[in-house]
């Protein structure tokens, strides 16, 4: 039969650590749930975010490579898809669409 030394302060520290880990897991779950919510932007919001002119953003929304969809008569784009689109470098010379936009 083995004797286990029980240290009350160690148990309190362990309980405290477990409580903090549970709190962190709750926060992570909330963050993951928020990531699943789709958020959309329209032409005006993209103009504000990028500083591009209205015509440039309208042309951007017509680009087949740009991730847009129609919501009634309004064109919108999902935020994460827009961020992904802008995260890779693009040049006018490489795009068939932008070579023909004057």
For 60-83, write each residue's pLDDT tens digit.
999 888 999 988 999 999 988 888
Phi and psi of 52, rounded to 5°? -75, 160
Look up the pTM and report it.
0.58
SS3 breakdown of the chain: % helix, strand, coil, rounded to 5? 60, 10, 25
Provide the pLDDT for residue 34: 66
- 60, 66, 67, 72 alpha-carbon torsion, rounded to 10°: 40
d(CA 52, CA 27): 36
Tell me how far apart the terminal alpha carbons of the chain are, to the nearest angstrom: 87
Lowest-pLDDT range of 20-34, 37-51, 71-85:
20-34
In this prediction, residue 7 has a pLDDT band, given cuts at 50, 70 and 90, of low
Collapse the DSSP code of 27 into the 3-class scheme (helix H, G, I; strand E, B; otherwise coil) and give the result.
helix
């Amino acid at each position: 039969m083995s004797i286990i030394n029980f240290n009350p302060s160690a148990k309190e520290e362990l309980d405290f650590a477990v409580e903090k880990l549970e709190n962190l897991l709750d926060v992570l779950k909330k963050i993951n749930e928020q990531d699943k919510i789709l958020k959309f932007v329209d032409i005006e919001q993209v103009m504000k975010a990028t500083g591009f002119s209205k015509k440039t953003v309208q042309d951007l929304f017509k680009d087949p490579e740009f991730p847009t969809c129609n919501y009634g008569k309004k064109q919108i784009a999902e935020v994460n898809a827009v961020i992904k689109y802008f995260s890779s470098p693009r040049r006018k010379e490489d795009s068939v669409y932008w070579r023909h936009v004057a």
